[in-house]
């Protein structure tokens, strides 16, 4: 789909010359999700001129009030709202009296269609959302968490899983899809293969797509099936196994600096944060207990 008026990429839609010292913008792309664009911004003075995107605009208002026109209708988005703009819909944006802070995803139409087809496991047309604003704490929490994870998490598995869960819930609840989500049956054998694969590759970067291929599932089905069989997500399970391997190596006297890469952590700081989250102590303190 191509808009009749030129789609304005986020970098050009935000004129840096119009930003005040109180406006803040962070922008990045994730090539693993069809060059998904992500924006985290605080606007006190900046106003968007009317424009369209070839992509969806999906995100959350974290604070303040945004005022905008969408297809000729006046809209007010406040803290806690989930916002959706379909591709090619004309819109602008301006701050309320105290400004606003928000996090936005710009997924392509093809990506959203692919996710919808994973959810339903049947061919679908283009995804469309009838309502542009939603007050849904579950969707808000997942979208906000996914955005923060994609902005700062060092491991690909956590970023992929967070975005897929958030986007899938939004599509399930509010997209105009003609088919329900798939059911999940007993799939213990497939999940066991995934666990064996992950265990054998804990020292490597693990990808949700590769794990889904091992199971023979879509990424969406993998997450749902894994949670049903194990009670936690693939990323949480992988983290627990990496921490367990780290415990064994630290107990044998290996240093945190050598254990971190051996267990697939991004770096020593990454291991320390996750290790303490599971055990309550740092890797160094855990190791020291076995050296006394």
Considering the domain architecture, whether residues 56 and 161 belong to the same structural domain is answered as yes
Rounded CA-CA distance 21/78 in Å is 23
H-run or E-run covering 56: none
Considering the domain architecture, whether residues 141 and 252 belong to the same structural domain is answered as no
**Number of structural domains in the chain:** 3
Q: Using alpha carbons only, give the angle 69, 108, 44 rounded to the nearest 5 degrees.
A: 40
Considering the domain architecture, whether residues 198 and 141 belong to the same structural domain is answered as no
pLDDT of residue 1: 55
What is the residue whose two structure tokens read 């900046």?
46
Residue 71: inside a domain, yes or no? yes
Q: State residue 107 phi and psi, 5-degree precision.
A: -75, 145
Residue 5: inside a domain, yes or no? no
Q: Which two tokens stand for residue 115?
A: 């996710």
Considering the domain architecture, whether residues 168 and 128 belong to the same structural domain is answered as yes
Considering the domain architecture, whether residues 203 and 156 belong to the same structural domain is answered as no
Considering the domain architecture, whether residues 28 and 153 belong to the same structural domain is answered as yes
Considering the domain architecture, whether residues 163 and 264 belong to the same structural domain is answered as no
Q: pLDDT tens string for the chain (292 positions)?
A: 556 443 333 433 444 445 567 899 999 999 999 999 999 999 999 999 999 999 999 999 999 999 999 999 999 999 999 999 999 999 999 999 899 999 999 999 999 999 999 999 999 989 999 999 999 999 999 999 999 999 999 999 999 999 999 999 999 999 998 788 888 887 999 999 999 999 999 999 999 999 999 999 999 999 999 999 999 999 999 999 999 999 999 999 999 999 999 999 999 999 999 999 999 999 999 999 998 7
Q: Which two tokens stand for residue 167?
A: 């986007």
Task: Mark out the alpha helices in 79-187 (DSSP H runs).
Answer: 109-120, 137-152, 156-174
Of 66, 59, 57, the C-alpha closest to 90 is 57
Considering the domain architecture, whether residues 20 and 153 belong to the same structural domain is answered as yes
**Residue 229 CB partners (closer than 8 Å, separation 6+):** 187, 188, 191
What pTM was estimated for this model as a whole?
A: 0.89
Considering the domain architecture, whether residues 203 and 112 belong to the same structural domain is answered as no
Residue 4: inside a domain, yes or no? no
Ramachandran area for residue 106 (φ above 0: left; ψ -120 to 50: alpha; else beta): beta
Q: Which two tokens stand for residue 169?
A: 């819930």
Rounded CA-CA distance 43/128 in Å is 28
pLDDT of residue 7: 36
Rounded CA-CA distance 120/253 in Å is 50
Give 178-239 as a DSSP string: SSPPPP----HHHHHHHHHHHHHTTTS---HHHHHHHHTS-HHHHHHHHHHHHSS-HHHHHH
Q: Which two tokens stand for residue 292?
A: 């006394």
pLDDT of residue 214: 98
CATH number at residue 280: 1.10.10.60
Which of 140, 172, 204 finishes a domain?
Answer: 172
Strand partners for 60: 82, 103
Q: How far is CA 32 from CA 159, 187, 246, in A?
A: 10, 27, 29
- Domain assignment of residue 189, given as a range: 183-231
pLDDT of residue 250: 97
CATH number at residue 15: 2.60.120.10
pLDDT of residue 10: 40
């Amino acid at each position: 789909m191509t808009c009749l008026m030129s789609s304005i990429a986020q970098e050009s839609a935000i004129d840096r010359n119009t930003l005040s010292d109180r406006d803040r913008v962070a922008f990045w792309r994730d090539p693993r999700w069809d060059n998904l664009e992500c924006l985290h911004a605080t606007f006190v003075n900046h106003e968007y001129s009317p424009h369209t995107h070839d992509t969806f605009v999906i995100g959350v208002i974290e604070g303040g009030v945004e005022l905008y026109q969408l297809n000729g209708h006046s809209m007010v988005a406040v803290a806690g709202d989930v916002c959706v703009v379909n591709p090619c819909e004309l819109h602008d944006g301006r701050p309320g009296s105290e400004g606003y802070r928000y996090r936005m995803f710009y997924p392509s139409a093809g990506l959203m269609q692919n996710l919808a087809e994973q959810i339903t496991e049947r061919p679908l047309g283009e995804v469309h959302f009838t309502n542009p604003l939603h007050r849904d704490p579950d969707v808000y929490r997942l979208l906000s968490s996914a955005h923060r994870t994609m902005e700062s998490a060092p491991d690909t598995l956590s970023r992929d899983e967070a975005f897929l869960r958030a986007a899938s819930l939004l599509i399930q609840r509010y997209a105009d899809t003609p088919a329900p989500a798939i059911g999940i049956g007993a799939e213990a054998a497939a999940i066991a293969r995934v666990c064996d694969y992950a265990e054998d590759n804990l020292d490597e970067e693990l990808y949700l797509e590769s794990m889904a291929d091992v199971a023979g599932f879509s990424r969406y089905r993998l997450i749902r099936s894994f949670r049903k069989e194990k009670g936690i997500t693939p990323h949480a399970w992988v983290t627990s196994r990496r921490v367990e391997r780290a415990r064994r190596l630290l107990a044998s006297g290996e240093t945190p600096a050598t254990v971190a890469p051996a267990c697939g952590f991004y770096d020593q700081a990454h291991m320390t944060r996750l290790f303490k989250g599971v055990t309550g102590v740092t890797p160094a303190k855990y190791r020291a207990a076995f050296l006394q």
